[in-house]
Chains A and B, each alone.
Chain A
Amino acid sequence: MQMNMVSAINNALDIALRESNDVVLLGEDVGKDGGVFRVTEGLQAKYGEDRVIDTPLAESGITGTAIGMALAGLHPIPEIQFAGFMYLAFDQLVSHAARFRSRTRGTLTVPMVVRTPVGGGVRALEHHSENPEVLYSHIGGLIVVEPSGPYDAKGLLLRAVHMQDPVVFLEPTRIYRLFREEVPDDAYEVEIGKANVLRSGSALSIITYGTMVQPVKNVVEKKRVDAEIVDIRTINPLDEATVLASVKKTGRAMIVYEAPLSFGAGAEVAARIAEKALYELQAPVMRVAGPSLPYPFPAYENFATPNEKRIGDAIDKLLSA
């Protein structure tokens, strides 16, 4: 069926709730309201108030409670209304979700999927456009996933729910209703920790994910450059092998992401390329990213977020380097 990302995620949650009685959803406005983006629409009516739980307004409470549920054998899927409010839950994620397995040598685990909308481009108020993927990736112990479209969103989410690990599942708001694609009605999984080569090419490798996948694809198509596009999909753990194989083939690498440039995913990818593919490079690695600033208010976001023009200019520069 043709689905946008909202309906694909809703469908994945529906399947997860149907598959196992241990799966519960909890969060602010997820029940009766169906979530502020309508991602959980209809699920409370279908599965009841004790499985799709409207919680008090408290992110640390939601996350800490979900950790407790997971420790007791449930498989909670907490929703944090916006990534900008997940900082209130940071302690629970970093101090506990990420560490239970390692501190108890595998005897206690936290199987849960924390879903939250990320990214800008929707003219939202302050704190509603955050890109925190590396904050969670840096910790160790948290799996961090960011899909770029409906098909991957459903498959990655179902995979995440079937794992026994804490997964931070980042949903780009800009893509929620941006486009539809064919999504199977039945359950399927997309592997976590595996990048997706969206287009193969030989002139350069563009490594990207989330909101930047679409503009990268558009530019490559319009400019008719022979670019290889790698959607890493999982930020942590990084699929280094796919990235290196691509870069060794093309000899030129560019990393495109919306989050602030400095200390971002680009730094990690570039470092691995420098460590393991330096001699295959024909030009320095390039990064196209948001400025190293707090995400601006809506009136300024078009000056900050990488767009097709910027990506196109960078491609020209990299190809002529």
Chain B
Amino acid sequence: MDENGNIDASLLPGDVDDAKMVSMYKYMLLTRALDAKILSLQRQGRAATYAPSLGEEAVHIGAAFAMRKQDFFVPNFRQHGMYIVRGFPLDRFVLYWKGVEEGDAIPKGFNGLSVSVPVSTQIPHGAGIAYAFKYRKQDAAVLTFVGDGGTSEGDFYEALNFAGVFKLPLITIIENNQWAISQPRSRQTAAKTLAQKGIAAGISCVQVDGNDMLAVYKAVRDAIANAKNGPTLIEAVTYRLSMHTTSDDPTKYRTDADVAAWQKKDPVARVKAYLAGKKQWDDAMEQKTAEEQQKQIDDAVAKAEAFKPDPRSMFENVYSFMPEVLKQEEDAAESANFWR
């Protein structure tokens, strides 16, 4: 799908119909609305540092829709749309970004891990989970994410190498949003593409337009279909339209013109144009969806804000048992009312 929402119908994946496209589009809107909400909470001191996903929604929504229920999700920290499509409770998601461990508690059946802040360190976990699937002869693949910056870390190469050696059902998406905080993609590697990093590991690799939801969908679906034969590396070329995190000031290192050029390639607007062209979407539907989603988000925020942290939970979730010496620390803290 190009920037204006035109598609080459011969490339359209056979299992994508209008209804599915509308559903994907709604998830894009929800992701974007939630993103804006958490950003504003952070600005009011009601959330911790937040990493917006604005402009990168097609990568997450396209990939999430290509996954089957049994496939497993190993995130970095910016894949908000993946959580949402895969049914992570929104209030828990908000709770995580409010800086609460309970927001990282994984609901039963979610088939995914918690946020990984140290970049790239989660990819070997993906390889290990993929090994377990293969070992148990389970028909499931692992989908993991890394940024363009993250591909410079040793763990990235080590994990791809393991996946290649053991022919693991591991799909690694490089979310190339052109920036690692202030550093442009060109500063990370002299290689022409990030996808080609898979070649040295002897694994399949492909580069797609990461702002084209359908291209991402197809690449991930194909990789899953091929997962029993081995790993795939997918470079999704996209752009971080917003700040790195709420602690970042992008005006220090990039120009408005750079951003404006990518705004024209917005991944959400093009889906809307496509659906509108097919009379599957109009302003009234947009309005109604926005209202419904706002309510959904407000409910989630209200629920998250009602959560009261219990300091005992810090002590009681560290080991499978309670060591005597730790119990003493907990009791001392509790009897001093946790030092308030």
Contacts and interface: CB of A to CB of B under 8 A. Distances in A.
Contact of A60 (B154, B183, B252): B154
Interface stretch (A65-73, A119-127, A187-195, A247-255): A119-127
Interface string B181-202: 1110001110000000000000
Contacts of B247: 36
A26 to B, nearest CB: 12
A132 interface: no
Interface in A43-62: 54, 56-61
B329 A291 contact: yes
A300 B340 contact: no
Interface string A270-307: 00000000000000000000011110111110111011
Contacts of B101: 296-297, 299-300
B325 A298 contact: no
A240 B339 CA distance: 31
B99 A57 contact: no
Interface stretch (A6-14, A27-35, A158-166): A27-35
Contact of A57 (B152, B309, B329, B330): B152
B314 A299 contact: no
A124 B48 contact: yes
A134 interface: no
Contacts of B87: none
B318 A54 contact: no
B166 interface: no
Contacts of A261: 329
B282 to A, nearest CB: 40
A88 B152 contact: no
Contacts of B152: 56-58, 61
Contacts of B99: 123, 125, 297-299
A309 B340 CA distance: 7
B314 A293 contact: yes
Interface residues of A, number: 42
Given A32-B182, A303-B333, A310-B336, A88 B48 contact: no
B99 to A, nearest CB: 3
B333 A33 contact: no
B181 A36 contact: yes
Given A127-B117, A303-B338, A54 B314 contact: no
A33 B153 contact: no
Contacts of A313: 336
Contacts of B248: 36
A261 B328 CA distance: 12
Given A293-B315, A313-B336, A85 B309 contact: no
Contacts of A123: 48-49, 99
B115 to A, nearest CB: 8
Most buried by A among B119, B121, B182: B182
Contacts of A201: none
B48 A125 contact: yes
A61 B272 CA distance: 44
- Residues of A contacting B: mostly: loop
A123 B311 CA distance: 16
A291 B339 CA distance: 12
A298 B326 CA distance: 21
B49 A56 contact: no
A125 B180 CA distance: 17
B325 A85 contact: no
Contact of A291 (B115, B121, B315): B315
A309 B333 CA distance: 12
A291 B182 contact: no
A304 B314 contact: yes
A237 interface: no
A27 to B, nearest CB: 11
B187 A54 contact: yes
A264 to B, nearest CB: 13
Contacts of B314: 291, 293, 296, 300, 303-304
12 contacts: A32-B182, A57-B183, A60-B154, A85-B118, A123-B49, A128-B117, A291-B326, A297-B104, A299-B48, A299-B309, A303-B314, A309-B339
Interface of B: 48-49, 98-101, 104, 115, 117-119, 121, 149-150, 152-155, 180-183, 187-189, 247-248, 252-253, 309, 311, 313-315, 318, 325-326, 329-330, 333, 336, 338-340
Given A58-B153, A297-B99, A303-B333, 6 more contacts: A291-B329, A291-B330, A297-B48, A299-B309, A300-B101, A313-B336
The 8 closest A-B pairs by CB, nearest first: A298-B99, A33-B182, A303-B311, A56-B152, A57-B149, A299-B100, A310-B339, A58-B152
